[in-house]
Structure formats: C-alpha cells, structure tokens
Amino acid sequence: MSGQEFDNKIIQWVDERLPIFSILKHSAVDYPTPKNLNYWWNFGSLAGFMLVVMVATGIFLAMGYAANTLVAFGAVEHIMRDVNYGWLLRYLHMNGASFFFICVYIHIFRGLYYGSYKAPRELLWALGLLIYLVMMGTAFMGYVLPWGQMSFWGATVITNLFSAVPVVGDYIVTLLWGGFSVDNPTLNRFFALHYLLPFVIFALVFLHVVALHTSKSNNPLGIDVKGPQDTIPFHPYYTIKDLFGIGVLLLFYLGVVFFAPNFFGEPDNYVPANPLVTPPHIVPEWYFLPFYAILRAIPDKLGGVVAMFGAIIILFFLPWIDSSKVRSAKFRPIFKQIFWIFLAVCLVLGYCGSQPPEGEIVIVGRIATAAYFLFFPLLWVLGKVEKPRPLPHSIAAPVLKGASAGHAAQPMEKA
C-alpha cells in the first residue's frame, strides 16, 4: 500500500510518515473496478453522498433546535421562519432522509438481483444490513424531534413494541422513555442518539468499504474478475460516472425540496404534540411501511414484533440460505422472476402498511407477509433445482463483442 512515489515533495514527506495519500490512491484512484458495472451500481455512492448531506445539514439544524417538549415544535418553526435559509436546511434534511432510504433500498435490491451477497461478500452484505438497521433507528428518532402529533404518537406506538418482550418488556420500555410515558426525557435521549448514530453509520460505512475493497466489486455478470483486462481504474471512470449519478439524484431531490417539500410528510406533524388527542390513524414514515404491515399482519403482539424484526434478521442469513453458486439473476431464469415477485410483495406490504387495517387490507397484508417469508426457503430449494444458463468465461469476453470467440477462452486463467 505504501511505497507510492509522489511528485510533490510535501505529499511525499507526509506519505512516508502517514500513508494517507497512498491509501487514497490505492482505494479511490487505482482501485480496479469491473468495467461492466451498470447504472444500478451508482446507488452505493449516492447513499454515501446522502449520508454526507444529512450530517452537514443536521449539524446546522442542531444549532437552532432545542430538545425540550415545551419549545421543540417552536424551535423547528424558528428554524423555518427566522434562521437565514433555515427552511432550506430543514427541507433538505427532512427529504434527505427519504432520498437516503430510496438510494439504500435500490442498493439493497441491486445486491439481491445480482447476488452480491454471496461468497466472498457475506460480511460486506451483513455490514450493509447493519448500516440499514442503524439508519432506521436514526430516522425514527429524527422524526420524533419536531414534536408534532405524528412524532409523539409514532414514538409511542413504536417504543411500545418492546413491551411485547417477555418478562423484561416493560422495563425496556421504561428505559427507552426515561419515565412512564413518551415525554421530555424521551425527547432528550432521542436527540442525543440522533446526533450520535450518524457517526456510527460513518464507521460502519468505512468498514463496508474496507470489506468491498478486499473482496472487490461484484458485477452484472456475477462472475469473478479474471485479470486486468476485466477492470478499469476507479478514477476517472467511476468518479465521473458517480458525479453524473449525483447530478441526476440532485434533480429529483432538489425538485422535491423546492417544489413539494412536504410530499413525503404527514400533515398531522404540523400540529404540536398533544398526549390527549390521538390522530385518526397513526402512520410511520414511508420507509417503515412494509415492516409495519408485517407487524400488523400477525394477530399476536409478540408474534408481530418477532415477525417484524425477523423480516430484517433473516436477510443476514441470505448468503447461506441461497444455495445457488451462480450470482447474477441474468443467468438464473426462475430466480429472476421470483426476484420481481419478491419486490412486488414488498411494495404491496408497503401499501398495506399505509392503510387502516380493515377489511381486505388485513387479508392482503397476511398473504403478502407469508409470501415475504416464503421467499427464503424457496431460494434454498431453487438453488438445488434451477438449471442456470451458461456463464460467460470472463467479463472482457462479452464486453469486447467484436473480438473473436476464441479470444474469450484464451489466457485468462489468473483468477
């Protein structure tokens, strides 16, 4: 890693003592990346970009905010009305959470489609899921901070879930609340944790990238890189591609921020929290809706909570559940169809979560929940019975379409 030669004397001097420039060159400039990555591979860096945006706007929002139930709602409105460009900071942060989740969801489903979780990338996948879990905690606590009606009642409903834990459930809930209901101590600890957790995410992202650069990127063909003819350096090829991606993301993100800033929000959260008035139906933020639907599909409190957390925990075991050695869905005709059905099931669950649990919504929610969990045993069986299509010999072979057929089978046995 070290031992790089730099023309600039000062950089060379620093690098011999602290190899930050070597590390940067190794992992952000020279890093060999498969040459066939498609645009779905942009969403990892886009998620990273959103994390930076969230931290940058969040720090300045914290300067105008006050975590006290008596003033929190007014403090947010103070940011919106009296702080210079406070409305911009707050709308960037509020909608940034949604776009962060959009990027991460696409990133996860991309990994699912192209089998990026399979050996040797099991820990890379697990670290990604950990990031996702911490993100959910951070987003949930952030939503409580404006202390509107949905903040308060969302916090009440979600924290109450932990009371389903046998024996110690009530103690856990009391500990979360810092008292016997969602109140000022709850708001205080949520603010402290909401400020802390993004830095935990940063640390996890760092490990995620270390794991990525150890096992290297997967690619749309799902086959291993065979040699330098399959890769291109990260810079300038993927730096410019990621910049273009950021531009496209910004068009959507800023479009919402400037012209429909409350599109993802609930009107109820512009009503100050009132413990005596329950909103007609309490809905979590959209990115929690599929899990909310699973929670409500099980007619038993503990069972619902177990199913909800189980729906995420089971993803950690995906590398071992999926018994197929072929990574990319391109070469797995049946898995490809099941993947799209699974995606549709998740969307149906999301829709069920947004509706009051009445009538056919309950039935649809239950069928979709069953389908969600059925996906995993099915994946195991599928790996045993599915006949995958023949894999190309190397990444370079299909990319160099013009080259002779013999070229593909030639010398690339380096592994």
Partner 1 sequence: MRKFLTSTLAAALLAVAVPALASEGPALEHQNWTWNGPFGQYDPAQLRRGFQVFREICSNCHSMKLVAYRNLGYLGFTEDEVKAIAAEKQVQDGPNDQGDMYARPARPSDRFVPPFPNDQAARVANNGALPPDLSLINKARAGGPDYIYAVLTGFRDTPPDGVTIPDGMYYNVAFPGHQIAMPPPINDDQVTYADGTKATKEQIAKDAVAFLNWAAEPELDQRHSLGVKALIFVFVMTLLFYALKRKIWANVH
Q: Could you tell me which stretch among 158-166, 197-205, 210-218, 234-242 binds partner 1 (CB under 8 A)?
A: 234-242
Write down the catalytic residue from 15, 230, 268, 285.
285
Which of 3, 166, 247, 299 is in the footprint of partner 1 by CB under 8 A? Answer: 247
The verdict on whether 413 is a catalytic residue reads no
Which of 52, 63, 168, 243 is in the footprint of partner 1 by CB under 8 A? Answer: 243
In 3-state terms, what secondary structure has residue 231? strand
Q: Which is nearer to partner 1, 270 or 376 (CB)?
A: 270
The verdict on whether 213 is a catalytic residue reads yes
293-352 positions binding partner 1, by CB under 8 A: 347, 350-351
DSSP annotation of 272: B
For partner 1, what does the binding mask look like between residues 252 and 291, x meaning CB under 8 A?
A: --xx-xxx-xxx---xx-xx--------------x-----
Q: Is residue 81 involved in binding partner 1 (CB under 8 A)?
A: yes
Estimate the crossing angle of helix 149-160 against helix 169-177, to 10 degrees: 150
What are the CA-CA distances from residue 311 to residues 233, 318, 346, 379 (Å)? 38, 11, 11, 15
User: Do 65 and 80 meet the contact criterion of CB atoms below 8 Å apart?
Assistant: no
Q: Which is nearer to partner 1, 154 or 319 (CB)?
A: 154
- Cα 281–283–289 angle (5° rounding)? 140
Tell the burial category of 47 from Cβ atoms under 10 Å away from its Cβ (0-12, 13-18, 19+): buried
User: Do 95 and 256 meet the contact criterion of CB atoms below 8 Å apart?
Assistant: yes
Is the dihedral angle over the CA atoms 13, 14, 15, 21 positive or is it negative?
Answer: negative
Q: Is residue 74 involved in binding partner 1 (CB under 8 A)?
A: yes
d(CA 328, CA 391) in angstroms, rounded, equals 10
Quote the tokens at residue 12. Answer: 């060379």
For partner 1, what does the binding mask look like between residues 105 and 134, x meaning CB under 8 A?
A: -x----------------------------
Residue 300 Cβ, how far from partner 1 at the closest point, in Å? Answer: 26
Which of 18, 240, 313, 341 is in the footprint of partner 1 by CB under 8 A? Answer: 240
Q: Could you tell me which stretch among 32-40, 49-57, 195-203, 323-331 binds partner 1 (CB under 8 A)?
A: 32-40
Write down the catalytic residue from 35, 241, 301, 407.
241
In 3-state terms, what secondary structure has residue 34? strand
The verdict on whether 217 is a catalytic residue reads yes
Among 99, 12, 92, residue whose Cα is nearest residue 48: 99
Which of 26, 66, 77, 373 is in the footprint of partner 1 by CB under 8 A? Answer: 77
d(CA 180, CA 140) in angstroms, rounded, equals 20
Q: Could you tell me which stretch among 59-67, 251-259, 326-334, 386-394 binds partner 1 (CB under 8 A)?
A: 251-259
Q: What is the dihedral of CA 89, 192, 133, 77, to 10 degrees?
A: -30
Which of 13, 244, 317, 380 is in the footprint of partner 1 by CB under 8 A? Answer: 244
d(CA 343, CA 225) in angstroms, rounded, equals 29
Q: Is residue 403 involved in binding partner 1 (CB under 8 A)?
A: no
Residue 267 Cβ, how far from partner 1 at the closest point, in Å? Answer: 5
d(CA 216, CA 377) in angstroms, rounded, equals 28
Q: Which is nearer to partner 1, 42 or 218 (CB)?
A: 42
187-216 positions binding partner 1, by CB under 8 A: none
At residue 389, what are phi and psi to the nearest 5 degrees? -70, 155
Q: Which is nearer to partner 1, 84 or 404 (CB)?
A: 84
Which of 229, 355, 369, 394 is in the footprint of partner 1 by CB under 8 A? Answer: 355
Q: Could you tell me which stretch among 73-81, 196-204, 315-323, 387-395 binds partner 1 (CB under 8 A)?
A: 73-81
Number of residues located near partner 1, criterion CB under 8 A: 41
d(CA 204, CA 198) in angstroms, rounded, equals 10
Q: Could you tell me which stretch among 8-16, 77-85, 200-208, 307-315 binds partner 1 (CB under 8 A)?
A: 77-85
The residue assigned the tokens 């639907």 is 293
What are the CA-CA distances from residue 274 to residues 135, 270, 332, 386 (Å)? 27, 12, 53, 56
Interface contacts to partner 1, rule CB under 8 A = 35, 38-40, 74, 77, 80-81, 87-88, 91, 106, 232, 236-237, 240-241, 243-244, 247-248, 250-251, 254-255, 257-259, 261-263, 267-268, 270-271, 286, 347, 350-351, 354-355
Task: Tell me the catalytic residues.
Answer: 213, 217, 241-242, 285
